[in-house]
Amino acid sequence: MALAVAGVLAVVWLTGEGCSRKETLTGPPPGFYVYPPLTSPENVIRAMVLAYVRRDSAETRLVYDPAYQGISIDRTAPPLDTLAFTRADEVAHVAALARNAGVTGVSCELYPTLVRYRDATDPAGWATIQNPLGRILVEGAVTYDVDPSGLTMEFKFVPSAHDTTSPTDTTWKIARWFEARN
C-alpha cells in the first residue's frame, strides 16, 4: 500500500498536478538523483550536464544564477544570428524536453578535463571555464546534433552564497554563457 501511495505521489509531482503549485518544473523528486554539490564551477558544469541529460528542470534551475545571461552567435552565414537567453529560458527548454513525448534520448558529452581560470575582465571572485562540452544530441521524431567543431563556448561562474554544508563554504552558479559558431 505504501508503495502504491508513493507511486501516485510521484506521478502527481511529475505531472505538476497538485495543490498550490505555482510553476511546473519537471524532473524527479528531490534526492531521487544524486548531483554533484555546487561547490565549484567544475561541479556546476557537471550538474548542468546531468540535469540536461535527465531532463530535470528543477536541478537546471539550481545551477543558473537568477541574473543569468546567455548569448549565442552564429557567424557562419549572414545575417549574423544572435540569440539571448535567461535562466527562465534555460529551465523552460529542459522542461520542454521532458514534456515532449517525441524526445527519446538526450546526451551531452563533457570533456574530462575542465580548465578553470580567472578572466581579468570579470568581477572579483568570478571564474571561467571554456569549451567544456562536446557533442550534444537530442534524439526523437526530429534529431538535433550539435557538433562542437567551430564552436567556442564559455561559461562564467559567480560565487552565490555562503553555504555551511559546503566544504568550501561557497556555492556557485552559472552567471553568463557565451557561444559563437565561427
Does 20 score more than 50 pLDDT? Answer: no
pLDDT tier for residue 6 given thresholds of 50, 70 and 90: very low
Does 19 score more than 50 pLDDT? Answer: no
pLDDT tier for residue 8 given thresholds of 50, 70 and 90: very low
Q: What is the pTM of this model?
A: 0.78
Average pLDDT over residues 110-122: 88
Looking up cell 553568463 gives 176
Predicted pLDDT of residue 165: 60
Average pLDDT over residues 85-110: 96
Do residues 104 and 70 lie in contact, with contact meaning Cβ atoms separated by under 8 Å?
no
Predicted pLDDT of residue 18: 35
User: pLDDT above 70 covers what percent of the chain?
Assistant: 77
Range of weakest confidence among 7-11, 83-87, 132-136, 140-144: 7-11
User: Across the chain, what does the average pLDDT equal?
Assistant: 82
Q: Which fold has domain 35-181?
A: Nuclear Transport Factor 2; Chain: A, (3.10.450)
Q: What Å distances lie between residue 12 and 18, 24, 28, 57, 173, CA to CA?
A: 6, 11, 11, 16, 29
Does 103 score more than 90 pLDDT? Answer: yes
Average pLDDT over residues 76-94: 92
Predicted pLDDT of residue 162: 63
Domain positions in the chain = 35-181
Predicted pLDDT of residue 10: 31
Between 112 and 9, name the one with better pLDDT.
112
Determine the Cα–Cα distance for residues 164 and 173; give it in Å rounded to an integer. Answer: 16
